[in-house]
Amino acid sequence: MKTGVIGLGAMGMPMALNLHRAGHLYSIWNRTRSKAETVARETGCLLADTIKQLAGACEMIITCVSRDTDVLEIINAIATSIKPDTIVVDTSTVSADTAKKAAARLSAKGACFLDGPVSGGVEGASKGTLAMMIGGEEPVLERARSTLTAIAANIVYMGPAGSGQATKAVNQHMAAGINQAVTEALAFGKSLGLDMNKVVDVISSGACSNWFLQHRGKSMLAGNYEPGFKLSLHHKDLEIVKSMGNNSTGMALPMVEMTLIHYQQLMEEGFGDEDISALFRLKQGT
Amino acid sequence: MKTGVIGLGAMGMPMALNLHRAGHLYSIWNRTRSKAETVARETGCLLADTIKQLAGACEMIITCVSRDTDVLEIINAIATSIKPDTIVVDTSTVSADTAKKAAARLSAKGACFLDGPVSGGVEGASKGTLAMMIGGEEPVLERARSTLTAIAANIVYMGPAGSGQATKAVNQHMAAGINQAVTEALAFGKSLGLDMNKVVDVISSGACSNWFLQHRGKSMLAGNYEPGFKLSLHHKDLEIVKSMGNNSTGMALPMVEMTLIHYQQLMEEGFGDEDISALFRLKQGT
**What is residue B46's three-state secondary structure?**
strand
DSSP notation for A237-266? HHHHHHHHHHHHT----HHHHHHHHHHHHH
pLDDT at A231 over 60: yes
Phi, psi of B9 (to 5 degrees): -85, -160
A279 CA to centre of own chain: 19
Which one is catalytic: A100, A101, A168, A230? A168
pLDDT-wise least confident of A90-99, A242-251, B90-99, B267-276: A242-251
Query: Among partner residues A118, A167, A206, which is closest to B199 by beta-carbon distance?
Result: A167
pLDDT at B247 over 80: no
Dihedral sign computed on CA atoms, order B55, B58, B60, B65 = negative
Residues A63-75: pLDDT tens digits? Answer: 999 999 999 999 9
Greatest Cα-to-Cα distance within chain B, rounded to the nearest angstrom: 63
**What is residue A3's three-state secondary structure?**
strand
Rounded Cα gap, residues B167 and B115, in angstroms: 10
Q: Is any Cβ of chain B less than 8 angstroms from the Cβ of A105?
A: no
Residues B197-245: pLDDT tens digits? Answer: 999 999 999 999 999 999 999 999 999 999 999 999 999 999 999 998 8
Relative to beta strand B152-159, strand A25-29 is unpaired
From the CA atom positions of chain A, what is the Rg in Å? 20
Relative to beta strand B130-135, strand B118-119 is antiparallel
Question: What are chain B's domains?
Answer: 3-160 (3.40.50.720), 166-283 (1.10.1040.10)
- CA of B233 vs chain A CAs: smallest distance (Å): 15
CB pairs under 8 A between A and B: 250
In this structure, which amino acid lies at residue B45? C
- Check: complex ipTM more than 0.90: yes
Rounded Cα gap, residues A272 and A265, in angstroms: 9
pLDDT of residue A247: 73
CB atoms within 10 A of CB B207: 28
- CA of A48 vs chain B CAs: smallest distance (Å): 32
Task: Tell me the residue length of chain A.
Answer: 286
Chain B environment of A189 (Cβ under 8 Å): 166-167, 169-170
Q: Is any Cβ of chain B less than 8 angstroms from the Cβ of A140?
A: no
pLDDT at B246 over 80: no
Q: Is any Cβ of chain B less than 8 angstroms from the Cβ of A280?
A: no
SS (H, E, C) B235-262: HHHHHHHHHHHHHHCCCCCHHHHHHHHH
pTM given for the model: 0.95
Rounded Cα gap, residues A275 and B147, in angstroms: 42
Helix axes B163-191, A254-268, angle to 10 degrees: 110
Chain A environment of B211 (Cβ under 8 Å): 206-210
Show the beta-strand stretches assigned E in chain A: 3-6, 25-29, 46-47, 60-63, 87-90, 112-115, 118-119, 130-135, 152-159
Record: contact A211-B208, CB cut-off 8 A: yes
Residues A260-284: pLDDT tens digits? Answer: 999 999 999 999 999 999 999 999 9
pLDDT at A249 over 90: no
CB B255 within 8 A of CB B177: yes
